[in-house]
Each structure stands twice: as C-alpha cells, then as structure tokens.
Structure 1
Amino acid sequence: MTGRFLNYLIGLSRSQKRAVLMLVDAALLATSFGLAMALRLDGFSPALTPSSWLAFALVLPCTLLLFRMMGLYRAVVRHVAGRTVQVLAFGIAVSALLLLLAAKSFGLFLPRSVPAIYWLLAMGLLGGARFGLRALYRQRLARLKARVIIFGAGSAGRQLFATLEHGGDYAPVAFVDDATELQGRDIGGLRVHSPARLPSLVAEHGVECVLLAIPSATRRQRRNILERLEPLGLRVQTVPGLSDIVSGRAELSEIREVAIEDLLGRDLVPPQQELLDANIRGKVVMVTGAGGSIGSELCRQILRQQPASLVLLDLSEFGLYTIDEELRGVAEVEGLGATIVPLLGSILDRARVECALRRFGVDTIFHAAAYKHVPLVERNAVEGVRNNVFGTLTLAEAARTCGVRAFVLVSTDKAVRPTNIMGASKRIAELVCQALSGMPGDTVFSIVRFGNVVGSSGSVIPLFRRQIEANGPVTVTHPDITRYFMAIPEAAQLVIQAGAMSQGGDVFILDMGEPVRIVDLAMRMVRLSGLNPVVAQEGRGPAVRATGDIEIRFTELRPGEKLFEELLVGDGARPTAHPRIMTATEASMDWPALDTLLRRLAAACDAHDLPAIRALLQEAPTGYEPAEAVGDLRWLAMQSPRPCVGRRE
C-alpha cells in the first residue's frame, strides 16, 4: 500500500507535488497548534476555543506564503537536506511569533507558552514528514539498485558515497576500511566496519558488488585487497587511480572494472629523469607504429618529456588519426609546446622514410612498428617477414644515412628460441640492429626486449573481458600455458630509459616479474566479475554449467604458439643502473654475412618460397625451431590443384 501511494506521489507533476505539500503542511501545522493547545490546557475540549483558532486561521496563510518565499517548495522531498531544517525552523518561529502578535492585536485567547510548544511540535511533524518521505523514497530506490559495500572510508570513499546517494545504479549499505581509527564511525548514516566483517555484511544486506575507493593505494596493496575479496564471489569494481584523477584523465565518480595491473600487483619504480631526458628533451623524436599499443604509449610519455618535435609514423590512417588527436588535446590542456607531425607511410618505403628523417631532422627513433599477432603472421608469413625484417632494415639503414643519433628497436620475448615466424622475424630484426651497430656511423642502435603488455591489441585480457560480458565460455589454449605481463605505461617508460643507456648494439631485457598462468588469470577475472568459473570437462558438454556461472574451456595451442616464453637467449643477464632493466650479450652476425643472408631471404620472399624462408630463418642464429608445418594461407593455396576464385585461363 505504501509503495502504491509513493508511486502515485512520484508520478505527479511538479506543480501538483507543491500543492500536495502545501496541503500537508497546512494540516500538520493545524495538528501542531491543536496539540499545543491540548498540552497546555490539559485536554482537547478546552483546546477547541474558537478565538484561539481564529488567531491560527489568520496566521496559517502567512506561514505558507513565507515557506514558499523561502523556497521550501522548490526543494524536491527526495533531496531534503540540512538547509530544509533551517528554513523550517525559521519559518515556524516566525509563524509562532505571528500567533502571539495576532492574539494580542485582536484580543484573542492564547496562552503564552502555546507558541513555543507549537514550534516544537511543528518542527517534529513537518520535518519528520519530509525526512520520512525521503527515507521511503530511498528505500524504494534501493530495492531497484545493486547493493554495494564501499571499501575505503577516506575522502575518496565519502565522495563516492555522496555521488551514489544522488543517483546511479548502486545503493551503498556499509563502509569497510582497514584503518582501525575509522572503524565504528558513521558516515552519512552508514557504519564503517572492519574487513573481517565482509562475509557477514554480504549475507546480511544481500550485497552484489564491492566498490574500491582507494585511489592512493599501491598496486601491491590493491592486489592484497583483491585476494581477500575474491573468495566472496562478488563483483569488484573500482574508482580510477590517483594518477588518472590528478592528470584529469578520469573523475573520482567514474566506476570501472578492476584493472589487470591490480591483479598482477606490481608497483612502478620511479623513473630516472636523466634517462628520460637523454634522447628526448629538446630533440626531434620519431615513433614508428605510433598508433599501436606500445607506440601510442611511447608517444604519450615522450610528449611530456618536452621534445622539440614528435614525428608519428604509421601505416594505419585510423590509428594515426586517433593518437594525433589525443596528443594535440594533451598538449593544449597541459601547455606542451612540442610540434606534432603525423605521417602516413610504410617503413618499407625507403625514399619516404629518408625524406622524413632529413626534412624534420630526426635525432631519435623508437621503432615499434611490427606485425606481432603470432597466428596471423604464421598464416601470412611473407608479409610478416617483409614488415618485421626488411621494414626494420630499411628504417635502420635510413637512420644511419641521415645521421639519426639513437635508434631503439622494440622487440619481444617471442624472439627467444622462437617456434613461429613472428618471433623469428623479430630476432632477425635484432640481428640487423646488432650488425649495423658495428658499422661506421654516428647512430647508436639498441634493442629492448620484453613480454606481453596488459591491454594491448593482441592481449588475451580484452578477449577475456568480452567473453565474460557475453557469459562465456572463456577460452584458454592450454591448462599450463604461462605468459609474462607488464603494464603498457611501465613498458614504455622502461623502453625510453633503456635506450638512453645504450653504448651501441646492446640488448636490454626488462624485468617482467614472475610468469602468470593464463588459466589462473582467467579464473580470477571471472570471480572478480561476481561469477563462479568452472573448468569444462571433456565429454560433459553444457551440463557443467550446473556447477558454475561461466565455463573455462581449453582449446589448443595456436599455430606457432609456445607454452611458455623466455627473455634470454644466453645463460645470464647483467644488471644496469636501473633495477628493472638488464642487459645481455646475445649471438650476432657481422654485417657482410648478415647482408648475404638478407639478400637470399628477400629473394625467397619475392618467390613466395616458404620452405626456403623457414630454412633461412633457421640458418641465422635465431634458434628458430618451427612447431608446425607451413601454415601460410597463400602457400597452402598454391599447393592445391584448384584454381583461385575468379582466375582466368
């Protein structure tokens, strides 16, 4: 019944709601006056004195008019706050004073204590009615919202609570905080509890989600919190990190999915500013593959180190447009004076590359352009080799010719003992930089090798998120497959610093931490989405869904894919001045020998001779051991007796 009445009131127009409120106030003020008279005269019969009610009748319209002039009826009941109480207190006090004046002016009966009692009763009735309606409205609204616990009762948690109170899809029911000095306090009517009470709070309130409001916490601290929350089977979301809030990239009120960086729990090491500045500040810097995952993050960080110019080179029009627009916006907001030059083009176009290097006077190149998706390159081997090997060769030779001072190749852990064309082609690209570093010239070549970056276009993490949103199944290629992971901003920052330490031909390896089992990562992502993962069992089919919400299904290793990746070809790595950058001495070829092999490789690519290409990749010191038969789609089509579609004889 109450719900129907509340729904009826909510459905009224604003003018109708004001009229209803005025009628209710009039009735409550009359009730307050009648009760005040009854209390003072010890009964209801004496309280019905006509002359006293005449005084009230004279004052009531003035009181309602005063309320309206003070804006009491402009406030929506659902947003009743402290100012409403102040208006009521003042308005009713004026009403009580008017009662006294009317009684004296017209010689009407009114005991002197009645106005004071009237003020107290009217405050209770009018204020109580408004706050009661607000409570009913919020209770109704809370039933339509997801019940959440806010983890973190500091300033961020309080601001988040205030935001959720005035809208959104969440109804906060409690705070949780590790700080003992906050536990037991009330914030906005919600109690702050110890994290130990989480299971009982979840059961008591039917909680569906936990919101992390701890933007200043380190990743290690956030990881520890997530490990405590994971067994509860709740969806966990978070407000943006402090760096995003300070930089203006996000608002505190934004609620996001938990970042995978938080699951990995690795804190950033403060950068060494002299290394960041060495090849960038005041110089002209080019980034190839500027629209890609690593390339775009390199551009963001390079721009903030105040280069004279930043040249963006990419073959993808969309990727180039996107990063160019973003960087121009950042430069305008942050007052950065670097000239941004977007160039469409291929690293295989020697004339265009040399023209750009000379025209803009490039000092430093960060070479991030590459075909990197293992299965795709395996099926398009010739184009993978052309881009990754001969694109690097073209760019590196142009850099030497044009006097570029520093050339940094962004490489991959898949170049170590590769089982696929992509990894082998990147290892040849490393050999190119090593060989050219021994040639006469002013260009300092270096190689930076690392594993997967979180959230890149080829990462499993965006795929897992999409699969979880679609209610599964989440596909993992093998139960034992592991990968190294690093956040894109950390990887880009370390690439810049590693390049600044090079003496020529150095191979730098980034400290990736411990490898992560992909199936464990998938299951944690499912649990933190508030769902229960279940590993599919062969032969059981959809019936396994009875024991879980989302199925983890194992497929098979893709063409050229390894169970685990390595970062070193040799036996050991040496430390550098940076705790997360190591250097290693790797096998190399002198330029004449490599030049001969590259010519043979180019001829094999022109002939589309896949067996020859694979043999040449093995002949070089790459450690390449193909795990599969030739998978190139064009090669396989050439072996088929069927003619190509549309072919004319």
Structure 2
Amino acid sequence: MQLPRPALVLFIADLALALAAWWLAFWLRFNLDVPEEFVQLAQASSSWCVFAYGAGFAFARVYRQVWIYTGLPELRQLVVGIALGGILTAAGILMLRLPAFPRSVLLLQPLIALVLMGAARAVLRTLDERRLVLKHGKPVLILGMLQEASDALRALKGSAQWQPVGILSPQPAEVGRSLQSVRVWGTPAETARIAQSLAVQALLVASPPGAPGRREMLLQAADAGLALLTLPRPDEWLKGDGVAVPRRLELEDLLGRDPVQLDVASLSGLLSGQTVLVTGAGGSIGSELCRQVARFGVRRLVCADISEFSIYQLEQELRAAHPQMQGMYYTANVREPERLLAIANKHRPAVVFHAAAYKHVPLMEELNEIEALRTNVAGTWHAARAAGVCGAGRFVMISTDKAVNPTNVMGASKRLAELMVQSAAQGFPGTHYVSVRFGNVLGSSGSVVPLFTRQIAAGGPVTVTHPDIVRYFMTIAEAAQLVLQAGSMGRSGQIFVLDMGEPVKIIELARMMIRLSGKTELEIPISYTGLRPGEKLFEELLANDETSVATPHPKLRIAKTSRQALTDAKAVLQWIADADPEPEDRALRAWLRTLVPEYVLR
C-alpha cells in the first residue's frame, strides 16, 4: 500500500494516537500511577498494538480520509477501524500470554483512541472552517423553521463563502433557541432590525417551495432590502462538486409549489420508442414539451414551427442534449393543411402535441383578429385532422384559461379551437383527442415576466395595468409535465384543467421581481396604465356552465359542460377561408359569438 504524502502523514498520526491511547489506558487503569513492572508490560505489547491498529485502519480504509472534511460517514468508518484494531490487539495479547496483563486495558484503549482521533479531526476541521470563514465568509441569516435551518446549516458546512450568524423562524416559540451554535434571533417580520444589528446583507431561504406561508414570509423579509438566496435544486447539486453554493432566489422559487409527480410508467408506455410530433415546437411551451418528451426515450421527435430561428435554436439544443435521438426539424405553418398532412403522413407519429398558437391578447384584439382565427382555430383543425388521417394514437391541444367565459378574440378563438378538437374526436374515433387548459406560464414569450425584467433592467417604471388584476401562474416545466400526463389519461374529447394553485396579484408579482433584483420600489417605481383591450381583472379555469371532476392525478381535473351540440368544423373553416383579409370587426365578433355563446363582447 503506497500512500500519497498527506495521507501517509495522517495515517502515522492515527497510529501515534492509537499508541498514546494504549499508554493512557494503562495510566487510567492504575489510577495515574503505573507500577514499574506494568510499564515494562506496556512497552512489550505496544508494538503489537500499533501493528493491529495499522491493519484495522487499512482494512477499514481510514487512511483515505481527509480530516478537514470529516463528517458522520467518516466517523462511522473510523469506529470500524478502531473496533478492528481493538479486536486484533486483544487477540494478539491473549495469544502472547503476557503474565498478569490487565485485561481492562483492552477495553479502555479503543474508547480512548476513539476520543483522541475524533477530537483531532474535529479540531482540524474547526480550524480550517474558521480560516476559510475569516478569509472569505460573508455573514448570512437563515430563514426557516429549525428543521429547515438544520438542513441548510449542514449544507453550508463545506462552503467557505458564507457564515451563518443567525436564524429567523416563523415560529415565535423557537425564538431564543440555538442550533449548532447559531441563535434564532427573531421572526421574519423583524428581518430589517436583526440584519442591521448583525451587519448582514444576505438572507438564505431554507423553507422549501410549497411550504405554508412561504410567500408571505418572503415578502416580509424582502422589505429589508437583503439579497435573497436559496440552496441549489437537486439537478444543480448533481451538476456541481457536491458542495452547496447558494444561488440567487428566482421567481420560480418564490411562486413554486411541490414538484409535479409524474406517472412515469404510463408516460414511458406512451412515449418510449415512439414517434412524437410537436407543433409550435420553437415556442416556450412547445420547446419545453420537446425537452420533456426527449427524456422519455422517444425514437423520433418531429418538431415543426413557423419561426426558422426558433426551430434552429431547438435543433442545436436537442442535438447536444440527446445525440442518440432522431430529431426532425421543420419550418412549417399549421395554417397550411397540405404541408402539415405531408409531414404527419411521412413520419406517422403515435402522439401529436399541438402548441402552435397566437396568444397575445391585445395584439389579437385589434388589427389581427382574423389572424387569431386562422392560426388558433383553422390551424388547430388542420393539426387535429392530420393526426387522425395519419393514424396517431393521441392528440393533445394546449389551451388556456382565457378560453373560459372569454372577453377577447384570443380567448374566444381558443375556446372555439377546443370545440374543433371535440369535433375531430367524433370524426376520427381511432385517435384519442384531449385539450389541456392552464393559465400564465412564468417566463414564456409575450408574458409579463420578461416585460418586467426588461423594465427593471432599464431602471423602471414597471407598468401594471390595474392594482387589482390577478393571474394564475405556473412554471414552464410544471405546465409541460402536466400536459404530458394529461395526454395519457381520460376519454377522447375531454378538456383537462390544471391545478394552478393560488392566483397571484400582478402588483405583488412586480414587487417581488423588484426585490429579487436587489432594488426597492423607491428606486424602481410602479405605474398603472389601465386595462388593455379585451383584458379581464381575473381569469377562470371553468366556464359558468362547467363543473370539474377529479382524475387519478391530484393536479389534473376534467371540465364537464352541459353543452352537447358539436361545432360544424366544415362551416367554420369555410367562413374563415371566405373572410376578407381585413374583415369588419363587428361582424367577426358577432360570428364568433354565435359559436362561443359565453364570449362577452365589450
């Protein structure tokens, strides 16, 4: 066994401590006064002790330990090495048959050795951590209950960048207690005062996403103007070197909920080894669907999008992330039925995800109403028909909460698209058709989050249409995962509604983003611009004549409607095809209302 020099030095130190423990055991056995004849006995047997412990440490691989990183696993390994050394020592002494040997020494020595070696490692680790903290450490407060703070403190042990100096707990009963020598100074409401007294400029959030009261607690703490940090996500741990490096809190962390639990078995059966077609693949939802689908080992992924640049970016990403997957990347418009049908017939997808749509409410409300109908309604029918003609097993359309009791053309066009999908389900019984309805997606193109980000970077103001406007939000990954799950469930023609959690006030969202940027509302003001054309104060997930029923998945429900009449798809397509390039606004809206009675004209 050839050891590197640092490991050899520590191995010799362990053997020296084992020898010291041997002499201390004799010393304690004879009440601190060892008779001369037993001194000679200790000298005669000490070489065997060193040999036995060397063998025990070698077998337990204690020599591989780095003392400054000693934790419970290393201590357990050390206990095994000491136990082996003690057993071998006792066996050797008994075989040597040394006269009048005090057998209590054989019991005392391993215990003393454990104390000495554990203390040596603890002292060395403490000195090293203190050196790193004095050199690099920045004081940080930890926000969370004691159990959550305990996990964060353990994760920070290997970090030289941050030094925990206090805990803020939402439980008043925990104030004044200590955890690993770190005191609970107060509650989140007292963050500003405590941070000032401790000269702290950063706050580490230990509470996990979905914890009760987490958002309110963070809003209280954010008023102190501290940098908000959190521990890495599990995927970031895997990419790193095993040391927790706190990162800036992101909006997804602030609004986050419990992770989506997928039925992996059913999704693997649906996607693994299959061909999957995604329309609108270059968009926010479409590209995330492609990423999620690729994870399930599809044989071929066919991606179609009208944007050349978006499909190019997606191609580069997926080729690098999944080189074994066969990817086909088309620049194609869902408004061209023959092109879409040719792609579907060539590849014969088992599953089609239809994400192509116009979704920006104000743009579709004025000047572009006919475009919303051509893409959202006719384009959906073309995709649904292509899926049925080519024999796809499943078709999933991405819908929106704006399709519920719509007050704008975009929402009404998406509701009509849902009805067109239900008509396709009647016309193509061999294909399983579903629609999935959800709200706003954080960071998606055209959403409020990128707009606020740009406004904050420019120094403000951040523009909010109305102080009382609220929206449902979820992350792109969460939405895509639930879309996949819905695609494997239910009966053809059904509409799924996602559990969007609690609605969020847009003004609250703006404040959170300003605080996450490290600014205050004095530095980045908020201004109100008034509701835009077709915009509602709040969105709904169910229409007035709809109810919902549960599914086996806790975050998916099925919308049930009393409406039974099917939409005449052929007549709808004919009207859109015959419409003028710039149809009269009132006539277009009146026609749309005959097909979507819940559409409220404003």
Q: Given the two structures, how large is their TM-score scaled by the length of structure 1?
A: 0.64
Assess if the C-alpha contact under 8 Å between 2:399 and 2:436 holds in 1. yes
- Among residues 535, 548, 567, which one is paired with 2:541 in the alignment? 567
Instruction: Specify the alignment match of 1:220 in structure 2.
Output: 211
Aligned equivalent of 1:376: 363
Residues of 2 paired with 1:603 and 1:458: CA distance?
Answer: 30
Matched, 1:295 2:295: no
Partner of 1:404: 392
How many angstroms does 1:415 deviate by?
0.8
CA gap 1:247/1:494 in 2 versus in 1, 3 angstroms: farther
* Aligned partner (choices 423, 432, 439) of residue 427 of structure 2: 439
Residues in 2 aligned to 1:137 and 1:579: alpha-carbon distance in whole angstroms = 45
Q: Determine the structure 1 residue equivalent to 2:225.
A: 233
Counterpart of 2:573 in structure 1 is 598
Q: Distance in 2 between matches of 1:449 and 1:426?
A: 10
Distance of 1:322 and 1:572 partners within structure 2: 41
Equivalent residues of 1:511, 1:582 under 8 A apart: yes
Q: Call closer, same or farther: CA 1:248–1:312 in 2, change over 3 Å.
A: farther
Find out whether 1:361 has 2:336 as its counterpart.
no
- Output aligned runs, 1:553-632, within 5 Å: 553-569=527-543, 570-586=545-561, 587=563, 589-590=565-566, 593-606=568-581, 608-627=583-602
Separation in 1, partners of 2:398, 2:316: 24
Give the secondary structure class of the aligned counterpart of 2:450: helix
Counterparts of 1:448 and 1:251, CA distance in 2: 40
Q: Within 2, Cα distance between the matches of 1:558 and 1:200?
A: 41
Q: Structure 2: how far apart are the matches of 1:347 and 1:239?
A: 43
CA contact (8 A) 1:597 1:616 kept: no
Contact 1:275–1:501, Cα closer than 8 Å, also in 2:
no
Aligned residue for 1:318? Answer: 309
User: Take 1:429 and 1:249, find their aligned partners in 2: how far apart are those partners?
Assistant: 48
Equivalent residue letter for 1:504: S
Distance 1:486 1:516 in 2: 10
Cα distance change, pair 512–250 in 1 and its aligned pair in 2 (3 A): farther
Q: 1:265 to 1:361 in 2, by over 3 A?
A: closer
Instruction: Provide the C-alpha distance between the structure 2 equivalents of 1:251 and 1:353, rounded to a whole number of angstroms.
Output: 49
Pick one of 170, 178, 183 that aligns with 1:183: 178
* Pair 1:458-2:450 in alignment: no
| Aligned positions of 1:18-97 closer than 5 A | none
The 5-angstrom pairing of residues 202-601 of structure 1 reads 202-212=195-205, 214=206, 217-220=208-211, 223=215, 226-246=218-238, 252-253=244-245, 255-256=247-248, 258-332=249-323, 337-379=324-366, 380-533=368-521, 548-569=522-543, 570-586=545-561, 587=563, 589-590=565-566, 593-601=568-576
Secondary structure of the equivalent of 2:277? strand
SS in 2 for 1:438: helix
Contact 2:132 2:160 in 1 (8 A): no
| Distance apart, 1:287 and its partner CA | 1.1
Change (3 A) 1:560 1:401: same
What letter matches 1:183 in structure 2? Answer: S
Amino acid across the alignment from 2:199:
G
Taking structure 1 as reference, are residues 245 and 313 closer, same or farther at Cα in structure 2, changes over 3 Å only?
farther
**Worse overlay, 303-312 or 274-283:** 274-283
Asked if the contact 1:476–1:518 (Cα under 8 Å) also holds between the matched residues in 2, the reply is yes
* TM-aligned CA distance change 1:219 to 1:603, over 3 Å: same
Q: Name which one, 1 or 2, has greater alpha-carbon Rg.
A: 1
Q: Deviations over 1:340-396 (max 9, x none)?
A: 222221112222212221222211101011111111222322222211111111111
Identify if the C-alpha distance between structure 1 residues 137 and 354 changes in structure 2 by more than 3 Å, giving closer, same or farther: closer
Structure 1's 503 and 153: CA in aligned 2 closer, same or farther, altered over 3 A? closer
C-alpha displacement at 1:172, in angstroms?
A: 4.9
**C-alpha distance in 1 between matches for 2:342 and 2:257:** 42
| In 1, Cα distance between equivalents of 2:471 and 2:494 | 24
Contact preservation (8 Å) 2:271, 2:296: yes
Residue 345 of structure 1 aligns with an amino acid whose one-letter code is A
Deviation at 1:173, TM superposition (A): 6.8
TM-score by length of 2: 0.69
Match in the other structure for 1:638: none
SS of 2:533's partner is coil
What's the CA shift for 1:251? 8.7
Q: Which moved more, 1:461-470 or 1:484-493?
A: 461-470
Deviation track 1:158-212 (CA, whole Å, cap 9, x = no partner) reads 77686564xxxxx7573537698993546xxxx5655548555411243333244
**Corresponding residue SS for 2:547:** coil
Deviation at 1:272, TM superposition (A): 1.7
SS at match of 1:472: coil
Contact map agreement 2:381 2:424 (CA 8 A) in 1 = no
Report the secondary structure of 1:266's partner residue: coil
Deviation at 1:327, TM superposition (A): 2.1
Residues 519 and 304 of structure 1, relative CA distance in 2, 3 Å threshold: same
SS of 2:281's partner is coil
Q: Distance in 1 between matches of 2:132 and 2:576?
A: 77
What SS class does the counterpart of residue 252 from structure 2 fall into?
helix
Q: What SS class does the counterpart of residue 388 from structure 2 fall into?
A: helix
The separation in 2 between residues aligned to 1:400 and 1:138, in whole angstroms, is: 68
Task: Tell me the matched-pair count.
Answer: 463
Cα distance in structure 2, aligned partners of 1:469 and 1:207: 25
- 1:452, 1:136 → 2: CA distance? 44
SS of 2:463's partner is: strand
What's the counterpart of residue 55 of structure 1? none
The code of the aligned residue for 2:226 comes to L
Is the 1:428–1:622 Cα contact (8 Å) retained in structure 2?
A: no
| CA distance 1:250–1:184, change in 2 (3 Å) | closer
Could you tell me the percent identity over the aligned residues?
A: 42
- CA 1:621–1:235 in structure 2 vs 1: closer, same or farther (change >3 Å)? same
